[in-house]
Amino acid sequence: MQIFLNGKRAALLCIVALSWTILAARQTEPTHSLMPVPAQVRFTNGTFRLTESFTIVIRRTSTSRLEAGMQRALQRLAGRTGLFFSRPAVSQNQNADKPALSVMVKQPGEVKLGEDESYTLTVDARGILLAAQTDIGALRGVETLLQLLSADKDGYYFPCVRIVDEPRFPWRGLMIDAARHFMPVDVIKRNLDGMAAVKLNVLHWHLSDDQGFRVESIVYPKLHERGSDGMYYTQAQIREIVEYADERGIRVVPEFDVPGHTTALVYAYPELGSGPPPDGIERKWGVFDPVLNPANESTYEFLDRFIGEMATLFPDPYFHIGGDEVEHGGKVKHWDTNPEIQSFMKRNELENNKDLQRYFNERLLPIVKKHKRIMIGWDEILQDNMPKDIVIQSWRGRESMMQAARQGFQSILSSRYYIDLIQPTDYHYLNDSIPPDANFPPELQKMVLGGETTMWAEFVSWETVDSRIWPRTAAIAERFWSPQNVRDIDDMYRRLNVISLQLEEHGLTHEKNYEMMLRRLVNGNDVSALKTLVDVIEPVKGYNRNNLREHTSLSPLTRVIDAARPDARVARNFRTVVDRLLTNTPLDLQILAELRTQLTVWEQNHAVFEQLAERSPALREVLQLSDDLSAVARIGLAALSLVENEKQETDEWGKEQLELIKLARAPRGQVELMVLSAIEKLVYAASEVQPSGTKNK
């Protein structure tokens, strides 16, 4: 084997050194399968066994939120173990004899920013104690307990442990866009359950945009009647969801985007717009012209009455007014071309559109305040002379967030948490709201309330949205909750696999809709050849999907690209295993055999896939990609044999293979193969060609 460790191999070691170091790293405290990792956790020897006589006793303060939460926890324990708990499970008997789980809460919590969510959890052989300042803290703690559930040949148990935990940030959010594609009530509810499971505490609900206005308004009924294609939340449903969230200790912050992103609004009430009335709600994706008219007093009357109505539905003190993307390429067409607005600007000495938006915001702010709400908006509402009691949600970069803090604004970070852009989990996971930057001292850090992951919905439906949110959002939730130094990617992925399956108990479909969508695509035929392919592909990243093929809100979201998931697990495993092969000395023959098996499956897959595509026309857009996978697998097999036999091909051979692999990089059907960089590494190892830097896919 020694002969293999030539200069070539050393170079390779360099390439993969970083990821391997990360893979090898382990935290000093074991993280079990906990996600988010608690602030302090210390496992000790011993177990507490879960039996059918398990009971929960709520001591001291009880609230309906706490009782219902404990009932749900018990039901989930029964669900995971099949145990028939024998006694009425949750009780408030102060003198109960040795309950399995004692829950002690000092006072009822309030679902508000900054509420105490801390808890301590102690499992020893005699019982479990969950203590918290508030019932909300107890809900956070019981999720930790549920994640601790373990099994061995003697049955189910909790490991003995002492956990002291509290969140790093008070604002830990998930934004769901229900405007671009409507998300029915059950989608929101199951995602609230998922959020609670990973200790997120804000649902930011994007409820209006160019493509839809999704809330029933009694005061302005045309908003939902004309603005939604009949797909909107009734006020009863809004109340139902707010209550559902409250029961789980989750705030609901509604967003009604103004003055831009308002085609649906302006279609309903054209008199509030700045330009010609739209033909209908928008069907395409992008930034559009309709925009509220800041020079029209009716606009503020509308906002006053509308926000007043919404304030009766959404009790949270924060009210999100959007404010993003009013300017488009430096222009606001309907403002620039409206003479009344132009003369209004002159009269009021507003020099440009930014000034006009500031004017709008300055008029809007007292309206929001009048209804006892705190205004929050995207980056663009940040302007020097705005009062400091608004909150900025940074989407354009961490720099804008730091800028906000320096100017005295509180903020939350969403930049690099855009889960709609199909980035891998680690990309988001390593993105910290607080930059490790000397220019951002603690007093500024305090201005950062937390972060929000954003599920923009241009390309997701009720069928696929869960697969874009989960499991990646669980890792982001850890970033928001856990100590800053919890950053072990390999351990994160290990735990994420566990959590992902646990999240299914809430009805989330991120795992189970995968094969359902594949089944539909093969139209009754055997799914395996398709699955083999889709297991190693991902949708194109960023905004490329629409660049490659223009979609509308009516386009189907049932294609291969929609079945394909971010962070394709099989592809990621393959990349990891190739790295292991190439860094382990001596050569690990078992790994080599595994890789050969995998590559052989891919190589042979296309012949079957081709037949399948004959009967399933929807597959034809990835036919070339399937062929490409087989072709690169052949290259991988050749390289593997060379590596195995400790031989090296010429530089010419290597370059030829790399050219072939490069051809396979072209997306087809807006999806791409995620195993190419790993196969390139095999080619580097098998030939004299020199690596030209790492690649992402």
Q: Which residues bind a copy of itself (CB under 8 A)?
A: 68, 75, 78-85, 89, 151-156, 184-186, 230, 234, 236-237, 240, 462-463, 497-498, 501, 504-505, 507, 509, 511-513, 515-516, 519-520, 523-524, 551-552, 554-559, 614-618, 621
Cβ-contact 112, 95 below 8 angstroms: no
- In three-state form (DSSP H/G/I as H, E/B as E, the rest C), the secondary structure along 635-653 is HHHHHHHHHHCCCCECHHH
Please give the DSSP secondary-structure letter assigned to residue 304: H
d(CA 641, CA 647): 8
User: Which sign does the torsion angle of CA 136, 138, 142, 148 carry?
Assistant: positive
Q: Per DSSP, which regions of 80-201 are E strands? A: 90-91, 101-107, 119-124, 127-134, 150-152, 155-165, 171-177
Cβ-contact 670, 539 below 8 angstroms: yes
Read off the tokens for 407.
Answer: 């100017």
230: exposed, middle or buried (C-beta count within 10 Å: 0-12, 13-18, 19+)?
exposed
Instruction: Give residue for tokens 């009694």.
Output: 218
Write down the least CB distance from residue 356 to a copy of itself, Å.
Answer: 35
Give the total residue count for the chain. 697
Helix (H/G/I), strand (E/B), else coil: 158: strand
d(CA 483, CA 165): 10
Q: Which amino acid is at 445?
A: Q
Q: Which of the residues 309, 325, 644, 656 is marked catalytic? A: 325
d(CA 405, CA 43): 39
Tell me the H-state helices in 314-423: 333-336, 339-347, 353-370, 398-406
Read off the tokens for 356.
Answer: 């006009």
d(CA 529, CA 591): 23
Read off the tokens for 180.
Answer: 């671009």
Read off the tokens for 218.
Answer: 């009694």
Of 217, 68, 74, give the one whose Cα is nearest residue 149: 74
Give every CB contact of residue 546 below 8 A, 6+ residues apart in sequence: 285, 286, 458, 459
DSSP, residue by residue, 31-90: -TT-SSPPSEEEEEEEEEE--TT--EEEEE---HHHHHHHHHHHHHHHHHH-----S--E
d(CA 345, CA 360): 11
Cβ-contact 468, 428 below 8 angstroms: no
Q: Which lies closer to a copy of itself via its Cβ, residue 59 or residue 520?
A: 520
Q: Per DSSP, which regions of 519-580 are E strands? A: 537-539
Query: How far does Cα 183 stand from its chain's mean position?
Result: 16
Cα-based distances in Å from 275 to 55, 169, 278, 282, 348: 64, 42, 9, 15, 20
Q: Which lies closer to a copy of itself via its Cβ, residue 97 or residue 152?
A: 152
What is the number of alpha carbons within 13 Å of residue 119 lying toward its C-beta?
Answer: 28
Cβ-contact 85, 71 below 8 angstroms: no
Q: Which lies closer to a copy of itself via its Cβ, residue 556 or residue 693?
A: 556
Each residue of 615-647: b (16+ CB within 10 Å) or e?
Answer: ebebbebbbebbbbbbbbbbbbbbbbebbbeee
Write down the least CB distance from residue 225 to a copy of itself, Å.
Answer: 12
Each residue of 54-73: b (16+ CB within 10 Å) or e?
Answer: bbbbbbebbbebbbebbebb
Cβ-contact 237, 270 below 8 angstroms: no
325 is catalytic: yes
Positions marked active-site: 325
